[in-house]
């Protein structure tokens, strides 16, 4: 049996992975194809408002 790995990167930098047999369809799992080399998480090109950490830093800087 072949196994596929599905994973997520959360805004706090943690990873979640799930190993599933290939008979589960991607449609069933709401899978999305990603370009991992150019993903906003790695390139730093995502909106600042997207993470709780950046919101905290923004509020902290404004309070100085």
Extract the tokens encoding 37.
């080399």
pLDDT at 53: 67
Q: What is the pLDDT of residue 47?
A: 62
Token pair 């080399």 in the structure block, residue? 37
Written as tens digits, the pLDDT of the chain (64 aa) is 577 777 777 777 777 777 777 655 555 555 566 666 666 666 666 665 556 666 777 787 887 7
User: For residue 35, which of 49, 45, 24 has the smallest C-alpha distance?
Assistant: 45
For the chain, first and last CA: distance in Å?
Answer: 58
Cα 52 from chain centroid (whole Å): 14
CA–CA gap between residue 26 and residue 32 (Å, rounded): 8
């Amino acid at each position: 049996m072949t196994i596929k790995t599905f994973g997520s990167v959360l805004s706090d930098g943690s990873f979640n992975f799930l190993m599933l047999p290939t008979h589960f369809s991607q449609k069933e799992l709401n899978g999305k194809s990603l370009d991992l080399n150019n993903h906003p998480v790695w390139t730093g090109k995502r909106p600042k408002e997207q993470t709780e950490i950046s919101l905290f830093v923004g509020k902290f800087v404004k309070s100085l």
